[in-house]
Structure 1
Amino acid sequence: MGKPQDRDARQMRLAAIVIAVAMLGWLLVQALGREYGWAGRWAFLADLAAIAAFVWSLIVTWRIWRRRNV
């Protein structure tokens, strides 16, 4: 098993990737929806998915921060 710092680094990298992919995916869905005239409910679905990804990343980051400060 790796060191706790290695695990924390991997989790922080994963959280950063999730944030970036969520933001880019959200922007893409918004642009495609506007271009093709999709219903507003698809925009809300993209919003909820992005919010879920951001909340997950926030929780992971907070847990890492708590582990380092104990």
Structure 2
Amino acid sequence: MAPDKDALQAKKARVVSLVIAGTMVLWIGAQWIGSKVGISTRYALLLDLLALAAFVWALIVVYQIWRARQKG
């Protein structure tokens, strides 16, 4: 791989790691706050689906990074 592509892949990997860590922290915090406040299950499910969407996006980008490294 060229140095530019390596830098781009590293940047993508950093973004993915931040998304995964941030999503986990926000999701756990939202679940904790939601249990204390007593939000309805409808909103709790919405928070779960948003976290799941972030994890699916991260998995897709990790797969793209892996495939790009296999080609290079």
TM-score, with length taken from structure 2: 0.91
Residue 15 (structure 2) pairs with residue 14 (structure 1) = yes
Q: Which has the higher contact order (CA 8 A, sep 6+)?
A: 2
Whole-Å separation in 1 of the counterparts to 2:37 and 2:65 = 41
1:1-51 CA-to-partner distances (Å, cap 9, x unmatched) read x71000000000000000011111110110011001110111101100110
> What residue number does 2:70 align with?
69
Equivalent residue letter for 1:49: L
Query: Over aligned residues, Cα RMSD in angstroms?
Result: 0.9
Identity among equivalent positions (%) equals 41
TM-score, with length taken from structure 1: 0.94
Structure 2 unpaired stretches of 5+: none
2:39 is paired with a residue whose SS is: coil
- Number of equivalent positions: 69
